[in-house]
Amino acid sequence: MGIFERMEEEGHEQLLFLQENKTDLKAIIGVHDTTLGPALGGCRMLDYDSEEDAIEDVLRLSKGMTYKSAVAGEDFGGGKTVIWGDPEEHRTEGLFRALGRYVDAMGGRYYTGTDVGTKPEDFVLMRKETPYVGALPQEYGGGGDSSVPTAYGTYVGIKACCQYRYGDDDLSGRKVAVQGLGKVGLKLINHLLEDDVEIVAADVDEEKLAEARELGVETVKPEEIYDVDCDIFSPNALGAVINDDTVERLNCDIVAGSANNVLAEEKHGRMLADKGILYAPDFVINAGGMILVCDEMEPSGFDEDRTMKKTERIYDQLLSIFELAEDEDIPTQKAAKRVADRRMETMTVTGTISTSNKFF
């Protein structure tokens, strides 16, 4: 399928390819849907195996951000940036300032911030070129580490899953298999340990595994995490980890984690449901970081208490989605998208002008 065909099928508005030889910048910005407002989505930096992989990532992630914002009740659309490069080798001031100039040229159609492979300091550099960045350190007027509300929202979401699945959100004595010990994974583990949860964790980084073991967490090899007999499987690394192979290996009642695009394909949501596994849609449970960035853009400025209270709403949002999925006999991922689509349809019907018309 060609790029234009794929964009039409998925509803994308823009795909921008950026290259600057002197800074070694190779990046793609994807804008999915701006019905609710300007596109918003983080900037990911990975050493992709191919152009096709980078394009696939930016398309999937930007679409997910549209749904994330819509379900969370925020007035933003979905966007994403992917930088094709090794974060350890290609992260430079010149690269991020160049990217900032490209974002600035979009005139407020797209806002960005941290994601996998990027740091708040990168966006301090971008802020010198454009105001359209968020998740800045607190000393620069931002909300600080966006992984804090993301981890908290994931923890709250896990409690909601237990409430729906078991009739009780007390996590003590539960066993959770945590995949990924990055920005969010370790913070999530700390929340879970406070509730006396038994944890088994996996990561490809030995230093992170050592840090988890210091907390008393059992660790296993990355490929073994899918086979752990547990109550909850929590993916907190990269996407597409629920696929034809892994869905058959899971020994859990719940899948709930902070990773984006957890399902490799839509069919895997139905496969989880058919196995009796409750799935917390990723773009609902991991919305905390986006909520922080949206709060930075409030006229009154960032408010930490307001951000965390808005993040706590993930609990009730998930319960409503689970009930809708049960009532209509559809997978939870489809129910969550139905909630998002209904909100966007309502905004269109009531006369909201899409920002997609404002910058041409």
Concatenated DSSP letters for 94-131? HHHHHHHHHHHHTTTSEEB-B-TT--HHHHHHHHTT-S
Give residue 356's pLDDT. 41
* Segment 32-44 mean pLDDT: 96
Give residue 141's pLDDT. 87
CATH for 338:
3.40.50.720
CATH for 13:
3.40.50.10860
Contact 64, 77 (CB under 8 A): no
Position 309 in a domain: no
Of 123, 140, 157, the position where a domain reaches its end is: 140
| Residue 197 predicted with pLDDT over 50 | yes
My answer on whether 115 and 165 are in the same domain is no
My answer on whether 194 and 154 are in the same domain is yes
pLDDT, tens digit, 9 for 90 and up, residues 275-315: 999 999 999 999 999 999 999 999 998 999 999 999 999 99
Residue 357 in tokens: 């018309």
217/213 Cα distance (integer angstroms): 5
My answer on whether 36 and 10 are in the same domain is yes
80 is catalytic: yes
- Range(s) of the domain holding residue 217: 147-287+315-342
Give residue 359's pLDDT. 33
Query: Which of these is catalytic: 63, 68, 80, 208?
Result: 80
My answer on whether 27 and 46 are in the same domain is yes
Position 22 in a domain: yes
Residue 346 CB: number of other CB atoms within 10 A?
Answer: 11
CA dihedral (347, 349, 353, 357) positive or negative = positive
pLDDT, tens digit, 9 for 90 and up, residues 94-126: 999 999 999 999 999 999 999 989 999 999 999
Count of the separate structural domains present in the chain: 2
Position 71 in a domain: no
My answer on whether 236 and 101 are in the same domain is no
DSSP 329: T
Of 101, 118, 140, the position where a domain reaches its end is: 140
261/36 Cα distance (integer angstroms): 21
My answer on whether 195 and 335 are in the same domain is yes
Contact 175, 233 (CB under 8 A): no
My answer on whether 228 and 124 are in the same domain is no
Beta pairing, strands 278-279 & 254-255: parallel
| Residue 349 predicted with pLDDT over 60 | no
∠237-238-243 over CA atoms, to 5°?
110
Of 99, 125, 140, the position where a domain reaches its end is: 140
Position 355 in a domain: no
Give residue 1's pLDDT. 79
Residue count of the chain:
360
Backbone angles phi, psi at 309, to 5 degrees: -65, -40
My answer on whether 114 and 197 are in the same domain is no
- 254 contact partners, CB below 8 Å, separation of at least 6: 158, 161, 162, 165, 231, 232, 233, 277, 278, 279, 280
Residue 213 in tokens: 């073991």
My answer on whether 25 and 118 are in the same domain is yes
Position 56 in a domain: yes
My answer on whether 326 and 187 are in the same domain is yes
* Segment 205-219 mean pLDDT: 96
> Helix 51-72 to helix 3-10 angle, to the nearest 10 degrees?
10
My answer on whether 153 and 113 are in the same domain is no
Give residue 11's pLDDT. 95
pLDDT, tens digit, 9 for 90 and up, residues 139-159: 998 999 999 999 999 999 999
My answer on whether 245 and 266 are in the same domain is yes
| Residue 355 predicted with pLDDT over 90 | no
| Residue 352 predicted with pLDDT over 50 | no
* Segment 189-210 mean pLDDT: 97
343/345 Cα distance (integer angstroms): 5
Rounded to the nearest integer, the mean pLDDT of the chain is 94
Position 70 in a domain: no
Give the N- to C-terminal CA distance of the chain in Å, as an integer.
Answer: 28
Position 234 in a domain: yes
Position 295 in a domain: no
